[in-house]
Chains A and B, each alone.
Chain A
Amino acid sequence: MNHPMPRSRRDVFRIAGFSAAGLALAACGVQGQKAAPPKADAVKDYWAKQTKHGKVVFANWPEYMPEDQAPLKKFQQATGISYEYKEVIQENAEFFGKADPVLRAGQSLGYDIVVMTNGVQLQHMIDLGYATPLDHSQLPNFAANAGQKYKERAYDPGNKYTVPYTSGVTGIAYNTKYVDEDITSIESLFDPKYKGRVGMMSDAQEIGNFAMFVLGIDPEKSTEADWKKAGEKLKAQRDAGIVRKYYDQSYIDAVAKGDVWLTMAWSGDVFQRQLAGEPVKFVVPEEGGTIWTDNMLIPKGAANPVDALMLMDYLYQPAVATELDEFIQYVTPVPAVQDLLREKARTAEGKDKKALEDMVDSPLMFPTEADYAKLRNYTPLTTKQEQVFNPIFQSVTQA
């Protein structure tokens, strides 16, 4: 069914709506959609035709915006653009699974901005032409305030489709109650003395990166042969009984309680546990760590793209970014936030002061230059490569 049906027949089916034939069309109609890279002129033309509508719909993850929505309210006051904020994204995979048929059918998601982690699903959004190319002439704050690191994204060179919302680092967390040495190397995750006490992540990109780091391979430049070597390394680790479990988000409970003693971990989670007084430490391993980013993008068919751009840019004002980061407590793409928070901590009092100081000093919210130098993105993959890459690591984690 690679041949698109003639227009009139397709309409008949659409009217038929619930008919089996109509659905079969949808099922078979997963036609080639690979988006050609947009021509510069086309992008310019597109944006030249768009106008401000005075409203914007922002789809985000829960707990990614202060509960009083102050940054958005100020945006509304400053620009006169009214907003709808929806906490509708729970998982990248499920969000893409839901968005794909809608966008494929040429319908609109109903959101002007969505937030997705760089990874397989975001790559698909871009490859399938589901992301609107951005007009950087309307993003002056991003240009001025985003850190250099956040302008060089392997998954989206030149920030053609996305700008970062917030970032995090994948490193190693360990429970100091059970581990009495300083962990510095990924080798420790492969050390037989921690047999049954090591947690690894189930995500192919995450676990793949770590196996490559320990083998001295830069994932951003890796080849198929490297992935296979990494897969073998992980298989040996599993078969030796070192790994207790391949975790999703639940790893953090496991390490905080001591079910695993050391594990691959996301910086933001560990920071929260430290604030709660739990005995966990985070380290960016000497071999390397992964930096991942939740990105804002404008989905295809968005009703208010200009307003969306204005909101994206607004969030890059240092004062606004500070307010956001103080709540989210991940890594902000705006480096000026650290100084602003330090300033705020100086004038704050009591409990707030302590909390703010903890944030300013934490390498988990503000990685050092030395940390940044060790950080890599996920392995960049084309669809073809992904079909090789995923099975290599899934055969380890989903045996």
Chain B
Amino acid sequence: MRGIRLGDRLLHIYTWIIIVWLSSPIAVMILFGFNDKKSKSNTSWQGFTLRWYAELFDISDLTVALRNSLVIAAVSTVITVVIGTMLGLALGRHRFRGKGFTNFLVFAAISTPELVMGASLLSLFVSGNVPRDANTIIIAHVLFSVSFVVVTVRARIVTLDPSLEEAARDLGATAWGTFRQVTLPSIMPGVMAGAMLSFALSIDDYVVTSFVNGSTVTFPLWIVGAVKTGIPPQVNVMGTLIFGIGVLIAIGNAVAARRRT
């Protein structure tokens, strides 16, 4: 038993090492949000300042871009999770005609190079005379994230025992009731994982968005454009706030979870 405990402890440490590794560039980003830079380039350390926090919203287009990104990511995540979970259920639980082709579609959406997806969506919108704005960005984001939700949810469903649902139905539960009381709770980890993946995919997308955005600018778009002259530290501060709020949510969750037990 002792060996097992030691193994678990090592894995615990290992998990934290991976988390730290993944976050290490974030540390640099946070640091340079405090850099008292003397020119447009914000790449070498020149002293500490809180100035950029005070001037956080001074670049109005950047502020708008961040807001756009957050709204677009939230909306497209909700749509993606709902329709992706539905398809995941269909593929993981049911047999139906066209299943093979649907599997193929799901695969195709993941394997389409971003540039090709963006360019072909744009020509679709142009030929349909659809104006490009936040709506077309959301359409595109749902398109490239939905497969990730489908695949994640399906990976969960195929490990579940369908007999539980059958039992619920035999006991007289309605289809919707069975779904809400039995199916949904058991697939929830997959749904949540899919939601987090699609949020990350949306808020960080550059290539596809750059084709279908019209004149709506998102956070990554603005940053890529600013690379030419130097990214202002406000960008780092905004990244820091996104990260910081995320960490607070995580801590809040952890504390709440501890209370519950």
Contact = CB atoms under 8 A, between A and B. Distances in A.
A197 B140 CA distance: 41
Interface in B109-125: 119, 122-124
Contact of A27 (B60, B123, B210, B215): B123
A22 to B, nearest CB: 5
A25 B43 CA distance: 48
Contacts of A268: 229
A36 interface: no
B261 interface: no
B119 A23 contact: no
B157 interface: no
Given A14-B129, A22-B128, A101-B126, A86 B215 contact: yes
Contacts of A276: 37-39, 41, 43-44, 46
A63 interface: yes
Interface in B129-168: 129-130
B260 interface: no
Q: Which of A90, A253, A272, A275 counts the most chain B CB atoms within 10 A? A: A90
Contacts of A273: 39, 41, 43
A62 interface: yes
B95 interface: no
A278 B45 CA distance: 10
B229 A64 contact: yes
A23 B124 contact: yes
Contacts of A61: 225, 228-229
B8 interface: no
Contacts of B44: 256, 276-278
B215 A88 contact: yes
B119 to A, nearest CB: 6
A282 interface: no
Contact of B122 (A59, A63, A98, A274): A98
B175 interface: no
Interface stretch (B14-22, B26-34, B216-224, B243-251): B216-224
Interface in A61-95: 61-64, 67, 86-91, 94
Contacts of B210: 90-91, 94, 98
A40 interface: no
A249 to B, nearest CB: 5
Q: Which of A59, A62, A67 counts the most chain B CB atoms within 10 A? A: A62
A63 B127 contact: no
The number of chain B residues touching the other chain, given as a range, is 35 or more
Nearest to A91: B224
A101 B40 contact: no
A87 B211 contact: no
20 contacts: A17-B129, A23-B123, A23-B124, A25-B127, A27-B123, A59-B215, A62-B62, A64-B229, A87-B61, A90-B221, A91-B225, A98-B122, A101-B126, A102-B122, A102-B126, A268-B229, A274-B39, A276-B41, A277-B44, A329-B40
A59 B122 CA distance: 19
A366 interface: no
Contacts of B37: 276
A167 to B, nearest CB: 14
B230 A89 contact: no
A26 interface: yes
B43 A256 contact: yes
Contacts of B127: 13-14, 17, 22-23, 25-26, 105
B38 A88 contact: no
Which 5 pairs between the two chains have the least Cβ-Cβ distance?
A275-B39, A26-B127, A90-B225, A63-B229, A17-B128
A17 B130 CA distance: 9
Interface in A236-283: 249, 252-253, 256, 268-269, 271-278
A272 B41 contact: yes
Q: Which of A86, A101, A278 counts the most chain B CB atoms within 10 A? A: A101
B222 to A, nearest CB: 6
A13 B126 CA distance: 12
A111 interface: yes
Contacts of B211: 94, 97-98
Interface string A94-121: 1001100110110100110000000000
A25 B126 CA distance: 11
A88 B228 contact: no
A249 B227 contact: yes
Contacts of B224: 90-91
Given A22-B127, A67-B59, A94-B210, 4 more contacts: A22-B128, A25-B127, A26-B127, A59-B215
Interface in A196-224: none
B175 to A, nearest CB: 32
Contacts of A13: 127
Interface in A7-66: 13-14, 17-18, 22-23, 25-27, 59, 61-64
A252 to B, nearest CB: 8
A328 interface: yes
A294 to B, nearest CB: 9
Contacts of A17: 127-130
B226 interface: yes
Contacts of A67: 58-60
Contacts of B60: 67
B232 interface: yes
Nearest to A271: B39
B177 interface: no
Contacts of A105: 126-127
A389 B226 CA distance: 29
Nearest to A22: B127
Q: Which of A88, A271, A329 counts the most chain B CB atoms within 10 A? A: A88
